[in-house]
Chains A and B, each alone.
Chain A
Amino acid sequence: MRARTLPHSRLRSGGGTRIARTTRKTVVIAAVAALGAGLLAGCADDGKDEDDTSSGSGGGKTKITLGLFGTAGFEESGLYKEYEKLHPDIDIQQTVVERNENYYPALLNHLTTGSGLQDIQMVEVGNIAEIVGTQSDKLLDLSKYGKKDDYLPWKWQQGTTSGGQTVALGTDVGPMAICYRKDLFEKAGLPTDRAEVGKLWAGSWDKLVETGNKYKAKAPKGTTFLDSPGGLLQAILSSEKDRFYDSSGEVIYKTNPAVKNAFDLTAKAAKDGLVGNQTQFQPAWDTTIANSKFAAMSCPPWMLGYIKGKSKPEAAGKWEIAQAPKSGNWGGSFLSVPKNGKNAEEAAKLAAWLTAPEQQAKLFAVQGSFPSTPAAYDSDAVKNAKNDMTGDAPIGTIFAEAAKNIPVQTIGPKDQIIQQGLTDNGVILVAQGKSAGEAWKNAVKTIDNALDK
């Protein structure tokens, strides 16, 4: 077949005029070149293109883009509009990725290649140590844009390098309290007043677990004291000053007695059936919220929003909130500004404005993200804050109290991996019937493999 078509094509290809042939050849070369160029362009630094569009569109306005994850709520609380009104030459746009585990690897990739970055990038607290430790040379020093005294000292510290550059400004924090069901506590013969409940376990996590035993003795059928082993472990660990790293940056989670104690206490609670056999944020766990299957849970401000989203309407007002045995932080984010953005200066100003006390107070009112700026705690938005789930409880005051007692925690780049290993490859196994020793071994094996370069 092939042999026969060749002379034929030869006939035809020779048949054209010289001009025609040249034209066709040009077309071929042009096509190849275009494809090749397209390929190269695909791999090339696309920062330039973005800069062009950002200055070109919006009728000469400066466009500032934000890369966010989850529900940051800046847009929802009208902060962009307000800023645009204050600065008519600024045009703000955001792109949002729903889950941080999808957002963060991409952000790292963009930072290391210096392309595809937004003018402002959000960073979760679990990743902030890694970003500050390894990417700070690519980020703008924001210390002259944000006011250090505005922020909680530990929050400011987390965004600051060892060399003293502040490359990330704190947005929200997650001061933790304990949310509990008044109706279930009452049925189990426990007090329901938040001050009395707080006294039950003030100062010691062991007392919380003891209270769990009391609850269990008279518990309404089918309910557990706490929601999940992961939630309890998270709560205990977040109140410890030293967890997985020491101040010199060494991994110490295996030898740190605080970590082992937290693990063992959680394992004991799991063994005794005080916690639900659930993994947090799984659909089945959501259902235990809806069906009122547990009496209490560790509860940063954003958790109230989550509870509200998963509860049946009749659960409104049945929750109450008390101080945790020890204050800790769970969650929260930062804003950072990559140096190579064309509008880095304008972006830094916006980042500082978005994280200033007044704006954080507004964000709290709409979104429930708790301010990292103590000045906001005296604002009406925080002082008078209430939540449908907790009725009249002055949640703003309670969380503000907790926020002030949070220890300055030593954080490290792989905190998230270690925490997840201890939770998902550790304490949950005890809830499933394994021994605490087996669970610890499984967790350590997983974590060590994950940390080993």
Chain B
Amino acid sequence: MPTRHDAAAPPVKGGAAPARPPAESASEERRRARLSRRWQRDVRWSPYAFVSPFFLLFVAFGLFPLLYTGWASLHAVELTAPTDMSWVGLRNFTRIFDDEFFWNAAKNTLIIGIISTVPQLMMALGIAHILNYKLRASTFYRVVMLAPYATSIAAATLVFVLLFGRDYGMINWFLGLFGMDQVDWQNGTWYSKIAVSTVVIWRWTGYNALIYLAAMQAIPQDLYESAALDGASRWKQFLHVTLPSLRPTILFTCVVSTIGASQLFAEPLLFDANKGASGGSQHQFQTLGLYLYEQGWVNQHLGRASAIAWTMFLILIVVGIINYVISRRLRASS
């Protein structure tokens, strides 16, 4: 019958000091030491076992692909023979400097990122502000707002493609009512970017609005009351109470939206599905994600695609650092 050596000993009757059983044999001593070593090892190593599933998965599906992509980017590799690699050094990277398609895609990613993220976050803020008032059926409005987020990207994009159709699209029909000419949404340099951004904005505004709304509801009511006592108008209250309190949340949504914008893929891919991954006849809405896909899976150049992936990764790190610096400045100034 094993005894509980590690548990605190029960107080001994009439004695202040916890007394040990006097006649403890040497073997009992050894057993204790062994057990103690054992659970020390247990305590030390079991946590690693518990967290290991995630890290095993990460190594298999995160780290390994990352490193392998890095390795592949130094080779000329084709999808038709992925094991047949020939070393080209940094050529896949150096050629990116004068690869106009890459920089075109980078520019498109940036432009679409800005014209989708900025209006989206501003609208989300406004909507959240309105929903923060006491409204009838507020739950209904909140659900409606989130509904676009619950649709599939593919389905939404395909519907938008029909709406944005040049000859038979509803948007052109509507614009036609005001005497405007037909807009070629898929082929115009700016029109196509605006159309793709519209899909993004439609899908994510409600989601961001809900995040803002949640943060707004955590702002103590007294702040508004005292501001009102000081004679601040609704607008002033919004500027000087709501916005400063939302600062961390706004930063969060900015970071998340930036990541989302840099990964933009499905919307432009499906916006002109017949032109494959080329992002329009003049690559006018080809994003970096799309260009990467085109090189890897359509043109079958795994080496080049890997180099593009790593360059994207490096660009994202730079963007991340800029984000961090700005947010630190903001925090310091508040």
Contacts and interface: CB of A to CB of B under 8 A. Distances in A.
Interface residues on A, range: 35 or more
A13 B304 CA distance: 53
Contact of A424 (B57, B81, B274): B274
Interface string B45-63: 0100110110011001000
Contact of B43 (A10, A287, A432): A10
B242 interface: no
Contacts of B299: 417, 450-451
A349 interface: no
A362 to B, nearest CB: 32
Given A15-B7, A283-B162, A105 B297 contact: yes
Contacts of A9: 43
Contacts of B281: 424-425, 428-429, 432, 442
B113 interface: no
A452 B301 CA distance: 8
A14 interface: yes
Interface stretch (B21-29, B164-172, B202-210): B164-172
B37 interface: no
A451 B300 CA distance: 9
B278 to A, nearest CB: 6
Contacts of A162: none
B171 to A, nearest CB: 13
Contacts of B76: 453
Contacts of B43: 6, 9-10, 13
Contacts of A429: 281-282
Contact of B56 (A10, A35, A449): A35
B179 interface: no
B39 A112 contact: no
Interface residues of B, number: 53
B72 to A, nearest CB: 13
A287 B173 CA distance: 15
A244 B218 CA distance: 65
B49 A15 contact: no
Given A10-B43, A134-B80, A453-B76, A17 B53 contact: no
A432 B280 CA distance: 13
B275 A43 contact: no
Contacts of A1: none
Interface of B: 2, 4-7, 35, 38-39, 42-43, 46, 49-50, 52-53, 56-57, 60, 76, 78-83, 99-101, 161-162, 165-168, 184, 187, 272-276, 278, 281-283, 294, 297-301, 303-304
Given A25-B42, A284-B165, 20 more contacts: A13-B39, A13-B42, A14-B7, A18-B2, A32-B52, A35-B52, A43-B60, A105-B297, A105-B300, A113-B82, A134-B80, A287-B167, A424-B274, A425-B275, A425-B283, A445-B100, A450-B298, A451-B299, A452-B301, A453-B303
